[in-house]
Structure 1
Amino acid sequence: MKVSLDRSCLERRQVWVYAAAIVVGLALGSRASGAGTVAEALVWPALGLLLYATFLQVPLLDLATAWRDRRFTLAVVVGNFVIMPLVVWGMVPVLPDDPGVRLGVLLVLLVPCTDWFISFTQMAGGDVSRAIAVTPVNLVLQLMLLPLYLVVMAREEVTGLVTVDAVASALGVVALPLIAAALTEKWLDVRQRRHVVRERWAWAAVPLLATVVFLIATAQVDAVLGALDVLPFVSPVFVAFLLAAALAAKALAVAFTLPVTQARTLAFSLGTRNSFLVLPLAISLPQGYEVAAVVVVMQSLVELLGMIVFVWLVPIAYRRRSTGTPRR
């Protein structure tokens, strides 16, 4: 029997790919002396490639497109940058006292996804064109607002952590792929036939993230094993976030009288987070905060399992003509 593997098939099974990468990484880090040092050196270039592949799927040079549908874009902005941050702020008191855990949770939950939420939107019959159009807005706003959110919600955790070296490392691994992706996009737009390059890089996202997760597990095996007693308390927070995102999306869809396909897109935008972007920030934290990166990876796994439910539930919650008559 012939087995056909396409990108959507790979993306639907990615959570098991990442889980396997973690198990293999922990085994290697525990048994092979020196593997952790090598993995720690390789994680930064792997992250750079992952971010480049991610940013290349975002129409970085076409911010104006999103504002052609101001109602949908406004719903996304209000949901991602007002309502969901308030939800996260309300969760802060129930987080464990460990500053690394708290900072990891805040980092990953405060920034909306700019990549795989598009794939899940497509699986659930959402509006893919609007999902693509709004991603540059989400990316720009999260880069601007994340420092403000952290100062307001985690002043004690971030005080003294911001050093020149840490900021330079984190910004470098984000800024360089971002600039490279923007230049590549400009090069791609010159000739239509070059767009196949973007499609090929889209295939690389899952293997690259699996590689990053493997390297983190190998390099931070002690932190991962030490966090096992904390993760059961953090996972319910991530599940609660998904539930809150679903409710917020439903309320906003009604408030903005969004068409069904746009309402489905909004649900995935609010429910998915940009773990790729914050991983460099989590990894660059000083010694004693290694668990922050583990928390970010854990959130990705919980989110991916949650998206399996979302892909089934969202089309039921947003049936045709269920959110009212769309305005013209």
Structure 2
Amino acid sequence: MAQEATRAPRGAVERMEHHQVVIYLAAMALGALLGLAAPSAGPGLEHLVNPVLGALLFVTFLQVPAAELLRSLRDGRFLSAALVVNFVVVPVVVAAMFSFLPADRAVRLGVLLVLLCPCVDYVIVFSGLAGGSARRLLAATPLLLVAQMALLPLLLYAFLGSGLADLVEAGPFLEAFVLLVVVPLALAWALQFWAGRRESGRRVSGAASTTMVPLMAATLLVVVASQVPELGGNLTDVAAVVPFYAAFLVVMAFAGKAVARLFRLDVPGGRAVVFSGATRNSLVVLPLALSLPDAYAVAAVVVVTQTLVEVVGMVLCVRAVPRLLPAPSRRHLHR
């Protein structure tokens, strides 16, 4: 009986993992319906974004042993590739499209805020789903966050001139780093320590590891439901930036592949670099955009729009990136 009870939940987990892309799309659709049906719930749901995202990252960190993560910090080639794709290639791509963006400075500020900052949260999950190296992305997370905090004011000054760089504060970045990286990682390491010494810890760790798909679905539902109401009065601005966000995803997928080849990364490392370059820090910069003066209020809507475009794009990338960077064939491995 005990074996049957264990097998049943495991079977349910495997079915969810097998159908996870459909589950994520359904969660987004449900979130959109909820946001449209109950727009007044948006502000309340917005407060749930960080908790569910933190829980998702806790489960993600839990699956990467602490010792393995620390070893990844010595992977200089991967860390260099991640820095190059995000802080050399991305600004060049953004510069190429910048003159084609709408002339409104608030719209341009929103686009720059979100596209110039690499993702440090759910990129790890999506990269892992596509066979990318989650542990190396985890190791790169603090470095990427510190680099974007230091470089964003300089990049904004280069694109928009003086005056706007002073609007950007480090507070939201620091808060996100603590809540979405430090706390989940510390809790995951504590549970790993417990699981290594007690049967009860192993049971808790095993149970937590089965929640990846439901937590990802919950994250997508909450993000979409909380932000859809904000789009209603700004459809013109939304329509103007969507093609740029879609084009950015496509261009950065191929640019990431080129950087991965330049640094001679293996397939998991290459896929992780592709996701790192294509995925942006929309959930972290959203509070920053919301804190801007009223004259720049549309910047937050522009950031939210990128979130919605990117989530759809990530679901597609989970299928597309393994084809862009396929695993070597067995014949090639035996040569």
Aligned with 1:146 (options 142, 152, 169):
152
Q: 1:275·1:296 contact (CA, 8 Å) conserved in 2?
A: yes
TM-score (norm 2): 0.75
Q: 1:275·1:300 contact (CA, 8 Å) conserved in 2?
A: yes
Could you say which residue in structure 2 is the equivalent of 1:69? 75
| Runs of 5+ unmatched residues, structure 2 | 1-10, 196-200
Aligned with 2:129 (options 123, 141, 146):
123
Aligned with 2:282 (options 275, 278, 282):
275
Could you say which residue in structure 1 is the equivalent of 2:84? 78
1:213 aligns with 2:216: no
CA distance in 2, matches of 1:22, 1:64: 39
CA distance in 2, matches of 1:315, 1:186: 30
TM-score (norm 1): 0.76
Q: 1:55·1:177 contact (CA, 8 Å) conserved in 2?
A: no
Aligned length: 307
Alignment of 1:1-328 (within 5 A): 6=16, 9-10=19-20, 13-29=23-39, 35=40, 39-40=42-43, 42=44, 45-53=47-55, 56=58, 57=60, 64-155=70-161, 158=164, 161=167, 170=172, 173-174=175-176, 177-178=179-180, 180-181=183-184, 183-185=186-188, 187-192=190-195, 193=201, 195=205, 199=209, 202=212, 203-218=214-229, 220=230, 224-321=231-328
| Aligned residue type for 1:275 | S
CA distance in 2, matches of 1:287, 1:10: 40
| Runs of 5+ unmatched residues, structure 1 | 30-34
Seen in structure 2, the aligned counterparts of structure 1 residues 158 and 258 have a Cα distance that, compared at 3 Å, is same
Task: String of CA shifts for 1:26-85, please: whole Å, max 9, x gaps.
Answer: 3323xxxxx3xx643x356324424533553458x8875333221122111111121112
Displacement after TM superposition at 1:134 (Å): 2.8
Displacement after TM superposition at 1:234 (Å): 0.8
CA distance in 2, matches of 1:97, 1:124: 37
Seen in structure 2, the aligned counterparts of structure 1 residues 54 and 106 have a Cα distance that, compared at 3 Å, is farther
Structure richer in helix, relative to its length: 2
CA distance in 2, matches of 1:290, 1:8: 41
Displacement after TM superposition at 1:210 (Å): 2.4
CA distance in 2, matches of 1:64, 1:88: 33
| Aligned residue type for 2:74 | R
Displacement after TM superposition at 1:246 (Å): 1.9
Seen in structure 2, the aligned counterparts of structure 1 residues 155 and 20 have a Cα distance that, compared at 3 Å, is farther
CA distance in 1, matches of 2:289, 2:94: 18
Task: String of CA shifts for 1:264-297, please: whole Å, max 9, x gaps.
Answer: 2221221112222112112222324333233223
RMSD value over aligned CA atoms?
3.5
